Amino acid sequence: MSMANELILRNDNVDFLQPMEQQMLIGMLMDRLMRELAGTPLERYAEAASLLLKFDQELLQTIIGEPVTTDRFREFCDMPVVVRRRNGWALHDAVREWIAADFQNRKPSDCQETKKNALAALKARSDRQPALQTEIGFELIFLHDSPFIRSFCFQLDNQLDLRPVRKADLTRMEWLYLAHMRAISGADPADPHLAPLIRPLWNLHPEAFLGLWQDQMLVAFIACHRLDDRVKAVLLEHPVTRPAASRLPTDETAYVMCLYGVEPEFLGIPVPSYFRYLKSGIRRFACEWTHEG
């Protein structure tokens, strides 16, 4: 059993199987493993660890509310499904996901109580060690009830992609802009805003819009434009941008980031991961414009 786990889970490498086969095999292995651990302290350790981004002996015993001896902790960490991390240990991603789901399904009350204890323990640790607040902040995000938030923060490479937006995405972009505006400022959608610029600017320069996609969902966008005469003409038609556009010199060559919008559910995440994707979009525009001269 241990050899099979180590073979399949080393570096989470199950690429030789189809996704459905991967999940079935991991499920079978984890079901067998948890049956072997049933009724032992190691079962409680595995359940608690499945809710955490990473763990250590002190955190584990605080969360489960019972002593964790050094010998038992080392026995747990020697299991092939546990890996060493900086300043701690963690379950393999696939294992953690399976055990957490199994824990929630079998013992929903215990799972919620364990999660509550984990939140309290991590917040207390953050208060005691201000220098670790950012790092612990991500550990707290991992405890978020929304799988959408967790996957967005911790599985970006597999699920996020920057690519152009289509005409069919214009309504979604308008919604993202307005929802973002309301979320960060509490603005009234009836007040003047820049959403009406999205369609005319896209019609002029669709290539100036980049979307951030999670699977098939547009979750953010950014639009960067040269201030050419056609863009200025659009800006002059809008009451918010008219004053600034009217003062632009005719030979102005600066660039302006006109618009962006973000799914409100992502706001409030410390150092949002989506930001580096949007920055890479800006760099892409800058690079293309530089090559154009």
Q: Is residue 151 part of a domain?
A: no
154 membership: H or E segment, kind and range: helix 147-154
* Cβ–Cβ < 8 Å for 242, 235: yes
* Cβ–Cβ < 8 Å for 286, 252: no
Determine the residue type at 86.
Answer: R
- Asked whether residue 50 falls in the same domain as residue 182, the answer is no
- Asked whether residue 134 falls in the same domain as residue 205, the answer is no
Residue with the two structure tokens 């002190």 = 58
Q: How many CB atoms are located within 10 Å of the residue 137 CB? A: 15
Strands, E, within 44-137: which ranges?
A: 82-85, 88-91
Domain that includes residue 138, residue range: 2-143
| pLDDT recorded at residue 209 | 86
DSSP character at residue 113: H
- Asked whether residue 125 falls in the same domain as residue 250, the answer is no
153 or 246, which is more confident: 246
Residue 272 scores a pLDDT above 60 = no
Over residues 191-216, the mean pLDDT reads 86
Among 120, 143, 166, the domain boundary falls at 143
- Asked whether residue 97 falls in the same domain as residue 187, the answer is no
Alpha carbon distance 229, 26 (integer Å): 59
| pLDDT recorded at residue 173 | 93
Among 113, 143, 173, the domain boundary falls at 143
Q: Classify residue 182 as exposed, middle or buried by CB count within 10 Å of its CB (0-12, 13-18, 19+).
A: middle
pTM to 2 decimals?
A: 0.51
Instruction: Supply the mean pLDDT for the chain.
Output: 77
Residue with the two structure tokens 């600066």 = 254
pLDDT digits (tens, 9 = 90+) for 41-87: 999 999 999 999 899 999 999 999 999 999 999 999 999 889 888 78
Sign of CA dihedral 187, 192, 194, 195: positive
Residue 113 scores a pLDDT above 70 = yes
Alpha carbon distance 112, 145 (integer Å): 10
Tokens of 187: 């603005």
Q: Is residue 284 part of a domain?
A: yes
Q: Is residue 269 part of a domain?
A: yes
Tokens of 272: 């949002």
- Asked whether residue 47 falls in the same domain as residue 102, the answer is yes
- Asked whether residue 11 falls in the same domain as residue 132, the answer is yes
CATH number at residue 195: 3.40.630.30
Q: How many domains does the chain have?
A: 2
- Asked whether residue 182 falls in the same domain as residue 216, the answer is yes
Over residues 15-37, the mean pLDDT reads 66
Q: How many CB atoms are located within 10 Å of the residue 81 CB? A: 23
Residue 246 scores a pLDDT above 80 = yes
- Asked whether residue 123 falls in the same domain as residue 6, the answer is yes
- Asked whether residue 128 falls in the same domain as residue 256, the answer is no
